[in-house]
Amino acid sequence: DTWDQLIAINLSSVFHTTKAALPSMKARGWGRIVNIASAHGVVASPFKAPYTASKHAVVGFSKAVALEVAEQGITCNALCPGYVRTPLVEKQVVDQAKVHNLPEDRVIREVILAAQPTKQFVEADEVAAFTVFLCSDAARSVTGSVQLIDGGWTAR
């Protein structure tokens, strides 16, 4: 069930949204697609096979779409943030605190952000600002790329 849910949410939704948006982008001769993947779109973590597989697939899908529409004024990129403090991550912090019998601040630093060298969450406004850039004319030659905003996580 988890596999099917993650594929539907993380991958099938990207496909269906792109399919719906491309005709009008093609008609205008301009468009920007920014798919939010994850640092897990380029690296794996144990016990996250369905999530990692779905995010790797988003990266591959984004590259393929970029190639298919490259001559039509449309770009497609995958934005791959590290851990962003979201309600889902907040729940993970609470759950991991119980599992490891640690205070939440230690769970954040030693468990959740253990692989993120900055030891800071990526802020949602950072992801938004990067997305705005990728949608701008200044990024017209940025297509088929994997853009990391992960606090150095994948630099290791």
pLDDT tens column, 23-57: 999 999 999 999 999 999 999 989 999 999 999 99
Look at the block and give the residue holding tokens 């399919």: 19
Structural domain containing residue 36: 2-81+142-155
Residue type, 40: H
d(CA 36, CA 55): 9
Number of domains within the chain: 1
Pull the structure tokens for residue 50. Answer: 């369905």
Q: For residue 99, is it within any domain?
A: no
Q: Please give the model's pTM, rounded to 2 decimal places.
A: 0.93
Q: For residue 131, is it within any domain?
A: no
Q: For residue 107, is it within any domain?
A: no
Q: For residue 21, is it within any domain?
A: yes
The chain-wide mean pLDDT, for the chain, equals 96
Determine which one of 10, 34, 39, 51 is catalytic.
51
51 is catalytic: yes
Q: For residue 156, name the pLDDT band (cuts at 50, 70, 90).
A: confident
Residue type, 79: L
CATH value at residue 62: 3.40.50.720
Q: For residue 133, is it within any domain?
A: no
Q: For residue 127, is it within any domain?
A: no
**Between β-strands 146-149 and 31-36, what pairing exists: parallel, antiparallel or unpaired?**
unpaired
Q: For residue 111, name the pLDDT band (cuts at 50, 70, 90).
A: very high
List the Cα angle 53/58/59 in 5-degree steps. 100
Query: What pLDDT score does 132 carry?
Result: 98
Q: For residue 94, is it within any domain?
A: no
Q: What share of the chain is helix, strand, coil (3-state, %, to 5)?
A: 60, 15, 25
Query: What pLDDT score does 68 carry?
Result: 98
Query: What pLDDT score does 129 carry?
Result: 98
The answer, yes or no, to whether residue 145 has pLDDT greater than 90, is yes
Q: For residue 58, is it within any domain?
A: yes
Span 116-133, pLDDT tens digits:
999 999 999 999 999 999
Mean pLDDT, to the nearest integer, of 11-23? 98
Span 83-103, pLDDT tens digits:
999 998 999 999 999 999 999
Mean pLDDT, to the nearest integer, of 67-89? 96
